[in-house]
Amino acid sequence: AAGVIQSPRHLIKEKRETATLKCYPIPRHDTVYWYQQGPGQDPQFLISFYEKMQSDKGSIPDRFSAQQFSDYHSELNMSSLELGDSALYFCASSLRRGGGYTFGSGTRLTVV
Amino acid sequence: SQKIEQNSEALNIQEGKTATLTCNYTNYSPAYLQWYRQDPGRGPVFLLLIRENEKEKRKERLKVTFDTTLKQSLFHITASQPADSATYLCALDAGDRDDKIIFGKGTRLHILP
């Protein structure tokens, strides 16, 4: 069965550069979520989209933005990267009403 | 503010025994409580969801209980196996009131052969 696809799997960027992470949710799932997980930390909610509209926003820096496109894939754009942005970034999708989330394998971003 | 507490220390359990993990929460009224498994460098994998009006849920060797009075969920793995070794995350879901789920820090479980 198709899972949530994230790309790239690994990304190395320098400080002040820009990164774009992509997520392809499970077909027919109506909600997409982005989470950031630092080493040894729990996943922290960044932002979500329901039917291509932003539905909730968490502790996402102003340097980050995200959108969901007409084909339901989502992109997380990160600008002016800082060393502290190094983390695993997960995308997840679900049906909005009372279901578990399906997570992608994540993108490991390293800022040097 | 909302707070989710899971066993902060790693849990070592002998193979074949039952592993029990605890999730306590404060300042929150979840409509659902979810449990996930996470292996190092991988995304969390959904295991079970229990609703606020359910006391217990089972799935194969897994059992989850949910006590909204105590604000606590227990997650049991019976007949544990070394392959069950992972970090287990508790997550709170407010249902229609909120889009996101909030994760606890997780408990690292080691099943010793």
Give pLDDT, residue A1.
64
| Predicted local distance difference test score (pLDDT) of residue B93 | 85
Q: Compare all CA atoms of chain A with the CA of B106 and give the residue at the minimum distance.
A: A42
**Is B28 near chain A, with CB under 8 Å?**
no
pLDDT band of residue B97 (cuts 50, 70, 90) is: low
- On the question of a cis peptide bond just before residue A8, with omega within 30 degrees of 0, the verdict is yes
How close B17 comes to chain A (CA, Å)? 27
The reply to whether residue A41 touches residue B42, judged by beta carbons under 8 angstroms, is no
- Tell me: the pLDDT tens digits for B53-88? 999 999 999 999 999 999 999 999 999 999 999 999
Nearest by CB to B89, which of A42, A102, A104? A42
Residue segments in chain A with a per-residue pLDDT below the cut of 70: 1, 97-98
Q: What is the distance between the alpha carbons of residues A50 and A33, in angstroms, rounded to a whole number? A: 9
Instruction: Report DSSP letters for chain B, one per residue.
Output: --EEEE--S-EEEETTSPEEEEEEEES---SEEEEEEE-TTS--EEEEEEETT-SEEEETTEEEEEETTTTEEEEEESS--GGG-EEEEEEEE-GGG-S-EEE---EEEEEE-
What pLDDT score does A2 carry?
Answer: 76
What pLDDT was estimated at residue B84? 98
Q: How high is the pLDDT of residue B7?
A: 79
pLDDT value, residue A69: 95
Q: Report d(CA A32, CA A92) in Å as an integer.
A: 6
Cα A33 to Cα B81: distance, rounded to the nearest angstrom: 32
Which amino acid is residue A80, in one-letter code? S
Query: For residue A15, what is the DSSP state?
Result: T
Cα-Cα-Cα-Cα dihedral of B57, B70, A95, B76, to 10°?
-40
Q: Any CB–CB contact under 8 A between B44 and chain A?
A: yes
Name which residue leads in pLDDT, B19 or B94. Answer: B19
Whole-number pLDDT of residue A98: 64
Identify from A29, A32, A42 which residue to disrupt to test chain B contact, counting B C-beta atoms within 10 A and taking the largest count.
A42
pLDDT at B13: 96
Are B104 and B45 in contact, with CB atoms under 8 Å apart? Answer: no
Token output for A100: 């578990």
